[in-house]
Amino acid sequence: DFTEMMRALGYPRLISMENFHTPNFMLVSEVLLWLVKRYEPQSDIPGDVETEQDRVFFIKAVAQFMATKAHIKLNTKKLYQADGYAVKELLKVTSVLYGAMNTQGGERADPPEEDSSKFKFDLGSKIADLKAARQLASEITSKGAVLYDLLGKEVELREARTESIARPLEINEAEKVMKIAINSVLEEVQKTKDMLNNVALDEANLEAKIEKRKLELERSQKRLQTLQSVRPAFMDEYEKIEEQLQKQYSTYLEKFRNLTYLEQLLDDHRRTEQEMFEEAANMLRLIQNRLKEEEQHLLKSGSNDDSDIDIQEDEGSDSEGDLQIVRHRISTEALLQGRAGARIVGSMQGGDTEED
């Protein structure tokens, strides 16, 4: 948005956000000076930013100008950083100029360099003139009402004024009034002196209280030092119990790790047994299905030939034998798996003779 606004306002150079990834004070100062000149061509802000003092003076001058003329509050710290945070501050001024240009029906295209200086829009001065005109109008109205009331009383006041001017000045009355004024002044002076005396008394009381608090603080500090230097009677027992607690905690951690490891091994063993059992069940199911299919096939293809019947009976007997062998093997494996956790007592050594 900032680059598009600057291009629409007619800034002669191309600006991208990559220029503000690192601090670039020269570009920020150039943009600020161009915006100030665009806002008010008659401004006299110096553009020298060679030294650190000149940069600080330049930033302060620009911020003060924008605050007084355009009522735009700029953050001087972010402007001095001259990075991405400075773009947010520049966007405040740019958005005002861009909105004013759109209000006046300005074109969004980039104007030439020679025509950019011809665009003059003194928005700050017009706002200031408008505020001054409103203030003057309100003052004129109020002063006119007061003047009208005073002119209405002019008939009565004129007689009183002429009588006061015509009446001779009496010295006694003037002396009396002066004495009253002197007495009032003396009373005020006496009151002021009494207040000063009271202040002195209050100060003395406060100093006494401060000294008292200091003494109490010193006593408390000494007592604290004595208490810190004394070792409690139960400290030895506390240290022994703490050492025992550390040992018990280390033992607890070791047992907890061992228990966790054993539980994991048990879960693995159970999972392995379950997988073997499922595999054996699947194998048995497949064999049963195959045998059923063979029996159905034999029943459908029955023949009257005795030799064929004998052969089929022999094959059936072989199939039944195979089924019995598989069942015996599965039952043996299940028995061995059930006895896997049992303890076997014996030795690996043979007998002395072949019979043994």
* End-of-domain residue from the set 234, 252, 280: 234
**Pairwise CA distance, residues 31 & 35, whole Å:** 6
Three-class SS of residue 344? coil
Asked if the structure places residue 109 within a domain, the reply is no
Query: What does DSSP assign to residue 167?
Result: S
Instruction: Supply φ then ψ for residue 344, to 5 degrees.
Output: -105, 125
> DSSP of 1-20, one letter per residue?
-HHHHHHHHT-SS---GGGG
Residue range 102-126: average pLDDT?
51
* Average pLDDT value over all residues in the chain: 77
Q: Do 2 and 82 share a domain, yes or no?
A: yes
What 107-116 contacts at long range (C-beta under 8 Å, 24+ apart), as own/partner pairs, is: 108/8, 109/8, 110/7, 110/8, 110/10, 111/10, 113/12, 115/10, 116/10, 116/12
Q: Is 184 part of any domain?
A: yes
* pLDDT tens by residue, 191-200: 988 888 888 8
Does residue 28 lie in a domain region? Answer: yes
3-state secondary structure of 161: helix
pLDDT attached to residue 112: 42
Residues 6+ away with beta carbon under 8 Å from 38: 9, 97, 119
How many CB atoms sit inside 10 A of residue 119's CB?
15
User: Is position 290 within any domain?
Assistant: no
pLDDT at res. 70: 77
Q: What is the number of domains present in the chain?
A: 2
Could you tell me if residue 165 is inside a domain?
Answer: no
Q: Are 96 and 186 contained in the same domain?
A: no
71-110 confidence digits (pLDDT tens): 888 888 888 877 778 888 888 888 888 787 777 654 444 4
Residue 329 clears pLDDT 50, i.e. is over it = yes
- Residue 135: partners with Cβ closer than 8 Å, 6 or more residues away: none
CA distance 49 to 65: 17
Q: Which residue has the tokens 């050492």?
A: 243
Q: What is the pLDDT of residue 343?
A: 45
Dump pLDDT digits (tens) for 39-61.
887 777 777 778 888 888 888 88
Q: What pLDDT, on the 0 to 100 scale, is given for residue 142?
A: 87
330, pLDDT greater than 60 = no
Task: Determine the residue type at 7.
Answer: R
* Higher per-residue confidence, 165 vs 307: 165
Q: Which residue carries 């500090």 as its tokens?
A: 221
* 218 found inside a domain: yes
Q: Quote the CA–CA distance of 5 and 88 in Å, as a whole number.
A: 13
Which position has the higher pLDDT, 59 or 271?
Answer: 271
Mean pLDDT in residue range 309-331: 49
**Domain stops at, among 103, 132, 148:** 103
Which of 86, 103, 120 represents a domain boundary (last residue)?
Answer: 103
d(CA 84, CA 21): 6
Rounded Cα distance, 129 and 69, in Å: 11
pLDDT score of 305 more than 60? no
Whole-angstrom Cα distance, residue 43 to residue 192?
A: 53
Q: Which domain holds residue 12?
A: 1-103
CA nearest to 25, candidates 90, 81, 64, 66: 81
Q: pTM for this structure?
A: 0.31
Asked if 109 and 88 touch (Cβ cutoff 8 Å), the reply is no
Q: DSSP letter at 20?
A: G
* Contacts for 104 with CB less than 8 Å, ≥ 6 apart: 121
- 90 and 176 co-located in one domain: no
With tokens 């059923």, the residue in question is 292
CATH code, domain carrying 86: 1.10.418
Establish if 153 belongs to a structural domain. no
Determine which of 154-168, 224-238, 341-355 has the lowest per-residue pLDDT on average.
341-355
Whether 49 contacts 55, CB under 8 Å: yes
| pLDDT above 80: residue 126 | no
Of 12-21, 73-82, 239-248, 308-317, least confident by mean pLDDT is 308-317
Q: Which residues contact 117 (CB under 8 A, 6 or more apart)?
A: 41
The interaxial angle of helices 84-103 and 2-9, nearest 10 deg, is: 40
Torsion (CA) 271, 275, 280, 282 in degrees, nearest 10: 140
Question: Which comes out higher in pLDDT, residue 327 or 154?
Answer: 154
Both tokens of residue 186?
């003396």
54 class by beta-carbon count within 10 Å (0-12 exposed, 13-18 middle, 19+ buried): middle
pLDDT for residue 184 is more than 50: yes
Tokens of 329: 């093997």
Q: How far apart are CA 40 and CA 37, in angstroms?
A: 5
In a domain, 309, yes or no: no
The predicted structure's pLDDT at residue 324: 55
Q: What pLDDT, on a 0 to 100 scale, did the predictor assign at position 189? A: 92
Query: pLDDT: is 274 or 304 the higher one?
Result: 274
Tell me, yes or no, whether 175 and 85 share the same domain.
no
What is the Cα 12 distance to its own chain's centre? 39
